[in-house]
């Protein structure tokens, strides 16, 4: 085929330019470690990357939520254990006395009971690091137990720990303390401490107080068991989220990360062909009949 | 007899000279764009009849012709036009992709960050730090929306300016072609040797125009090239050139569109017929990527802002007061009156449910009896005798409604409706006091995070496209769709680059100059010249012999 001098120069030149631009793209990939430089390079992969990015962001947020709720649960667990210890002490004390016990001993039991009363009340009024009352429901800025009535509410906060799964983040102690009722734990303990100092304390009064403390311990245990259940739920969700995150991050890596070894090999291959094209151009471009005239 | 030899050799010398000069011309123009190699056409001179038969009487130079193939030229011109269309499309597309952030979009990340901040408020509703972080995330997100939206508007302006400058350039080429048409007709009539150069120039201009916009060329022997543009309107006709202009699109005056000025009349071009050249690429980019991006971005911004505001209004802030708007109210673009309307009616538009909005523009028209709203993408239409009746029907089916704000609508008037186009413009966060964030549910108590949870749930709710996609997915789909279009443009560019290269090589193979060939020709013609000169010398010595014989 007849070829014009312009084509003779232009054809190898465009080959050289193409090699150079693909080398530039490879260089950029190797330097950034990212094989998907723009979404248009591979729209399908880019869509997957966007969706994976969203899932990863969401999982990361759920992890933060899980951590946040697990810390709250841990704190609540410690407080519930304290109430339990106090109630168990009260139980033991009430078992150790009866109507005919020596008044001195009754007085000392009364003093210890008063201390336990304060402990239980303080724990029920515990605040978190931000000064919010933990067992006050939504009324977190109000001290819930004044010894006579409950000033909080029944609000239960939920925390999102996965897509479509929320978990209760707080409890109140109403079932344990029964503030304001005939079985008001705090009032019963306070009253019992006062009664014990009175020699006329009846056995019936002591028995009733004992029953109240026993029942409170039972109710407390219900709350503790439910809390442990929720802690397990969070913990199992934590590992599920972690696994999902790992899977997604792995998939993202496969889609976006450059296989450096093969990229470098390809770069070298292109370098060789570029050199070949350049040297071919250099030698053929010297050819001209005019050189021989 | 001797005079015959002199005559013939002189003709031979002339022919060799003409060949040499053509060869020099070819060598000189080896790098001239649009140059077609020339060759001298020779023919045997009419022989003389003598008593002993026919005797040759020399060689005639018929003319200098260029190697020109209309078929090969058309191949180059049309593939070049497609190539430059894809190139222009691709350039604008990558700007747009960079603006929306490709697959690692800052906007997408800001959206996720915003909802993460809402979750953090839900986790700890009384924390002022978490609330402040939410305001900061909100500001980050609206900043991203505003940037993207402004960037798209800038691109639109840039497209409009480009349409303008292409129109100017095409008009100027058209004018030159009209002048060349006349010059060529005159030169051809007078047999001027300039004809080839003029033809080359004219063909080169046609190629240049086709890089800007696709035109059809009809070669008329008496008047030269006629160039048709768009839907068959004459850009150039003989010595007459019309002017390509960028005029306001009557349906949407904020957009420019090409039109042809013929005399005093301005005729808008059917943009569907403008498929090649930079102009074709620009218009396709505007229709396929730019406008849909504005529409979708606006839709996401509008839905986010109105949903968050709506949910905020149902909740209570840290002080127990009813929640107020978190975001500014996004702008809705009112229906745009067609420039050709005879009535002065102006319309209001309200978005009643962005979830129902189609990925399309809408056109509202009045024919004197009925108002009709048409979804442009698929032609779905709604008709009613009253504007209010149509508004109610459209509101239920398409998620927006309209009403007359002033003036009257005449028969034949029409309006373009792009409800969400500018909704992302200037979006901002209204709340500055962290305690004003409506995290609490109906109890209105500080420890209540009920409303924050509901706000956070907006992230996973399918709020768009008839309840099929979330806000994040809608945005990702936009980026994905743009990526596919860009990818297609890149592939188109590559294949038309190959086609152009092949066509150019074929055309060059026929019309291009090969220096080695010219070098060989130089020697050949030089030898022919030398041979003719030798013949002249011999004729001269023959003549001298006779002279000396009769002395």
Nearest to B513 among A5, A159, A293 (CB): A5
ipTM of this predicted structure: 0.87
User: How far apart (Å, rounded) are the C-alpha atoms in residues B175 and B170?
Assistant: 9
**Which residue reads 């953090």 in tokens?**
B120
Q: Chain A contacts of B484, Cβ < 8 Å?
A: 40, 43
pLDDT in tens, chain B (551 residues): 445 788 899 999 999 999 999 999 999 999 999 999 999 999 998 888 888 888 888 999 999 999 999 999 999 999 999 999 999 999 999 999 999 888 888 899 999 999 999 999 999 999 999 999 999 999 999 999 999 999 999 999 999 999 999 999 999 999 999 999 999 999 998 888 789 999 999 999 999 999 999 999 999 888 899 999 988 999 999 999 999 999 999 888 888 999 999 999 999 998 889 999 999 999 999 999 999 999 999 999 999 999 999 999 999 999 999 999 999 999 899 999 999 999 999 999 999 898 999 888 999 999 999 999 999 999 999 999 999 999 999 999 999 999 999 999 999 999 999 989 989 998 999 999 999 999 999 999 999 999 999 999 999 999 999 999 999 999 999 999 999 999 999 999 999 999 999 999 999 999 999 999 999 999 999 999 999 999 999 988 988 998 998 87
User: How far apart (Å, rounded) are the C-alpha atoms in residues A243 and B61?
Assistant: 88
**Which residue reads 């209540």 in tokens?**
B448
Nearest to A7 among B450, B512, B520 (CB): B512
Q: Chain A contacts of B123, Cβ < 8 Å?
A: 64-65, 68-69, 159, 169
Does A53 contact chain B (CB < 8 Å)? yes
C-beta atoms of B508 and A4 within 8 A? yes
Q: What residues does B265 pair with on adjacent strands?
A: B262
C-beta atoms of A64 and B119 within 8 A? yes
Q: Which residues contact B258 (CB under 8 A, 6 or more apart)?
A: B163, B167, B213, B230, B244, B245, B246, B247, B268, B269, B271, B274, B279
Tens of pLDDT, residues B181-203: 999 999 998 888 789 999 999 99
Nearest to A40 among B97, B116, B122 (CB): B97
Q: Which residues contact B152 (CB under 8 A, 6 or more apart)?
A: B96, B99, B290, B293, B294, B297
Report the gap between the CA of A159 and the closest CA in chain B (Å).
6
The CA R_g of chain A, rounded to the nearest whole Å, is 38
Q: Residue A165: its pLDDT value, please?
A: 92
Strand order, beta sheet including B362-366: B336-337, B414-417, B362-366, B371-375, B381-384
Does A165 contact chain B (CB < 8 Å)? no
Helix (H/G/I), strand (E/B), else coil: B229: strand
C-beta atoms of A136 and B447 within 8 A? yes
Buried b (16+ CB within 10 A) or exposed e, B98-129: ebbbbbbbbbbbbbbbbbbbbbbbbbbbbbee
Q: Which of A1, A2, A4, A12 is the best substitution to test chain B (most B C-beta atoms within 10 A)?
A: A4
Report the gap between the CA of A112 and the closest CA in chain B (Å).
35
Q: Residue B3: its pLDDT value, please?
A: 58
Taking alpha carbons only, the member of B235, B227, B239 closest to residue B186 is B239
Q: Chain A contacts of B318, Cβ < 8 Å?
A: none
Average pLDDT value for chain B: 93
Does A158 contact chain B (CB < 8 Å)? yes
User: How far apart (Å, rounded) are the C-alpha atoms in residues B123 and B142?
Assistant: 23
User: How far apart (Å, rounded) are the C-alpha atoms in residues B305 and B427?
Assistant: 8
Query: Cα A141 vs. chain centroid, distance in angstroms?
Result: 24
- The burial of A104, by beta-carbon neighbours within 10 Å (0-12 exposed, 13-18 middle, 19 or more buried), is given as exposed
Query: Cα A227 vs. chain centroid, distance in angstroms?
Result: 16
Which residue in chain A is spatially nearest to B112 when comparing CA positions?
A57
Query: Helix B70-100 crosses helix B195-212 at what angle (to 10 degrees)?
Result: 30
In degrees and rounded to multiples of 5, residue A38 shows phi and psi of -130, 160
Tokens of B144: 């991203």
Q: Chain A contacts of B97, Cβ < 8 Å?
A: 38-40
Give one word for A89, left, alpha or beta, with left for phi > 0 and alpha for psi -120 to 50.
alpha
Taking alpha carbons only, the member of B333, B363, B338, B359 closest to residue B348 is B333
Please report the number of interchain residue pairs, chain A to chain B, with beta-carbon separation below 8 angstroms. 186
Interface of A with B in 176-235 (CB under 8 A): none
Mean of pLDDT values over A171-184: 91
- The burial of A232, by beta-carbon neighbours within 10 Å (0-12 exposed, 13-18 middle, 19 or more buried), is given as exposed
User: How far apart (Å, rounded) are the C-alpha atoms in residues A123 and A266?
Assistant: 68
- Evaluate if residue A9 carries a pLDDT over 50: yes
Q: Chain B contacts of A170, Cβ < 8 Å?
A: 447
C-beta atoms of B103 and A39 within 8 A? yes
Give one word for A33, left, alpha or beta, with left for phi > 0 and alpha for psi -120 to 50.
left
Tens of pLDDT, residues A69-113: 999 999 999 999 999 999 999 999 999 998 888 999 999 999 999
Q: State the first-to-last Cα distance of chain B, in angstroms, to the nearest integer.
A: 20
Q: Please report, for residues B5, B44, B415, B539, the alpha-carbon distance to residue B57 in angstroms, rounded to integers and kept in the order given.
A: 9, 8, 80, 15
Q: Concatenated DSSP letters for B177-218?
A: HHHHHHHHHHHHHHT-TTHHHHHHHHHHHHHHHHHHS-EEEE
Q: Which of B26, B108, B447, B524 is the best substitution to test chain A (most A C-beta atoms within 10 A)?
A: B447
Does A21 contact chain B (CB < 8 Å)? no
Tokens of B126: 């009384």
Contact (CB, 8 A) for A267 and A20: no
Tell me which DSSP letter residue B376 carries: T
Q: Residue B2: its pLDDT value, please?
A: 45
Average pLDDT value for chain A: 93
Report the gap between the CA of A101 and the closest CA in chain B (Å).
47
Report the gap between the CA of A16 and the closest CA in chain B (Å).
14
Q: What residues does B404 pair with on adjacent strands?
A: B347
CATH 1.20.1330.10 fits A57-252, yes or no: yes
State the CB neighbour count (10 A cutoff) for residue B268: 18
State the CB neighbour count (10 A cutoff) for residue B278: 23
Q: Concatenated DSSP letters for A36-105?
A: --SGGG-HHHHHHHHHHHHHHHHHHHHHHHHHHHHHHHHHHHHHHHHHHHHHHHHHHHHHH--TTS-HHH
Q: Residue B294: its pLDDT value, please?
A: 95
């Amino acid at each position: 085929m007849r070829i014009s001098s312009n084509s003779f120069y232009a054809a190898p030149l465009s080959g050289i330019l193409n090699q150079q631009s693909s080398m530039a793209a490879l260089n950029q990939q190797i330097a950034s470690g990212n094989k998907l430089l723009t979404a248009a390079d591979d729209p399908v992969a880019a869509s997957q990357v966007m969706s994976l990015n969203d899932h990863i962001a969401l999982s990361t947020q759920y992890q933060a939520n899980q951590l946040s709720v697990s810390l709250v649960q841990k704190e609540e667990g410690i407080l519930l254990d304290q109430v339990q210890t106090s109630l168990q002490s009260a139980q033991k004390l009430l078992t150790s006395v009866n109507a005919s016990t020596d008044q001195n001993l009754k007085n000392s039991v009364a003093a210890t009971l008063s201390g336990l009363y304060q402990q239980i009340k303080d724990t029920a009024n515990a605040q978190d690091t931000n000064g919010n009352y933990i067992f006050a429901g939504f009324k977190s800025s109000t001290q819930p137990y004044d010894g006579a009535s409950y000033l909080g509410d029944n609000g239960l906060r939920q925390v999102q720990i996965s897509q479509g799964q929320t978990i209760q983040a707080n409890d109140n102690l109403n079932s344990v303390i029964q503030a304001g009722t005939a079985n008001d734990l705090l009032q019963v303990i306070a009253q019992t401490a006062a009664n014990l100092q009175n020699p006329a304390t009846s056995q019936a009064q002591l028995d009733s107080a004992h029953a109240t403390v026993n029942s409170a311990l039972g109710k407390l245990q219900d709350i503790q068991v439910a809390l442990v259940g929720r802690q397990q739920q969070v913990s199992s969700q934590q590992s599920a989220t972690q696994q999902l995150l790992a899977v997604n991050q792995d998939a993202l890596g496969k889609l976006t990360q450059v296989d450096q070894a093969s990229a470098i090999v390809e770069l070298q291959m292109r370098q060789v062909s570029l050199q070949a094209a350049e040297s071919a151009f250099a030698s053929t471009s010297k050819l001209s009949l005019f050189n021989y005239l | 007899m001797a005079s015959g030899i002199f005559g013939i050799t002189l003709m031979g010398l002339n022919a060799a000279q003409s060949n040499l000069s053509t060869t020099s011309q070819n060598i000189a123009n080896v790098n001239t764009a649009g140059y077609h190699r020339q060759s001298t056409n020779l023919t045997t001179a009419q022989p003389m009849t003598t008593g002993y038969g026919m005797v040759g009487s020399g060689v005639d130079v018929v003319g200098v012709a260029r190697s020109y193939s209309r078929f090969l030229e058309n191949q180059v011109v049309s593939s070049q036009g497609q190539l430059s269309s894809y190139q222009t499309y691709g350039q604008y597309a990558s700007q747009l992709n960079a603006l929306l952030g490709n697959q690692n979009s800052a906007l997408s990340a800001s959206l996720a960050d915003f909802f993460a901040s809402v979750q953090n408020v839900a986790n700890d509703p009384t924390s002022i730090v978490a609330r402040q972080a939410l305001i900061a995330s909100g500001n980050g997100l609206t900043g991203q929306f505003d940037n993207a939206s402004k960037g798209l508007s800038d691109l639109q302006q840039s497209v409009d300016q480009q349409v303008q400058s292409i129109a100017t350039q095409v008009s100027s080429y058209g004018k030159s072609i009209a002048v060349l048409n006349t010059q060529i007709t005159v030169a051809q009539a007078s047999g001027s040797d300039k004809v080839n150069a003029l033809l080359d120039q004219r063909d080169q201009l046609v190629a240049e125009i086709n890089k800007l916009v696709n035109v059809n060329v009809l070669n008329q022997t008496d008047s030269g090239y006629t160039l048709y543009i768009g839907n068959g309107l004459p850009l150039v006709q003989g010595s007459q050139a019309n002017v390509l202009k960028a005029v306001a699109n009557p349906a949407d005056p904020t957009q420019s569109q090409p039109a042809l000025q013929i005399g005093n009349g301005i005729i808008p071009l059917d943009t569907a017929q403008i498929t090649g050249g930079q102009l074709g690429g620009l218009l396709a980019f505007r229709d396929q990527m730019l406008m849909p991006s504005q529409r979708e971005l606006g839709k996401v911004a509008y839905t986010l802002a109105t949903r968050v505001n709506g949910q905020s209004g149902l909740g209570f802030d840290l002080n127990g007061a009813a929640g107020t708007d978190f975001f500014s109210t996004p702008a809705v673009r009112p229906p745009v009156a067609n420039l050709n309307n005879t009535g002065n009616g102006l319309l209001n538009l309200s978005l009643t449910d962005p979830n129902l909005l189609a990925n399309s523009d809408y056109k509202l028209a009045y024919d004197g009896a009925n108002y009709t709203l048409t979804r442009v993408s698929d032609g779905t239409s709604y008709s009613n005798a009253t504007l209010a009746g149509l508004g109610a029907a459209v509101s239920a089916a398409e998620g927006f409604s309209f009403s007359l704000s002033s003036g009257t609508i005449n028969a034949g008037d029409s309006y373009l409706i792009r409800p969400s186009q500018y909704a992302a413009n200037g979006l901002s966060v209204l709340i500055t006091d962290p305690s004003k964030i409506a995290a609490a549910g109906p109890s209105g108590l500080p420890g209540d995070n009920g409303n924050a949870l509901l706000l956070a749930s907006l992230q996973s709710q399918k709020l768009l496209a008839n309840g099929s996609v979330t806000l994040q997915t809608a945005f990702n789909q936009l980026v994905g769709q743009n990526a596919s279009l860009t990818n297609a443009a890149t592939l188109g560019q590559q294949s038309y680059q190959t086609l152009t290269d092949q066509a150019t090589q074929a055309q060059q193979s026929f019309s291009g100059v090969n220096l080695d060939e010219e070098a060989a020709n130089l020697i050949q013609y030089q030898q022919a010249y030398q041979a003719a000169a030798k013949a002249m010398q011999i004729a001269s010595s023959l003549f001298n012999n006779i002279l000396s014989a009769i002395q």
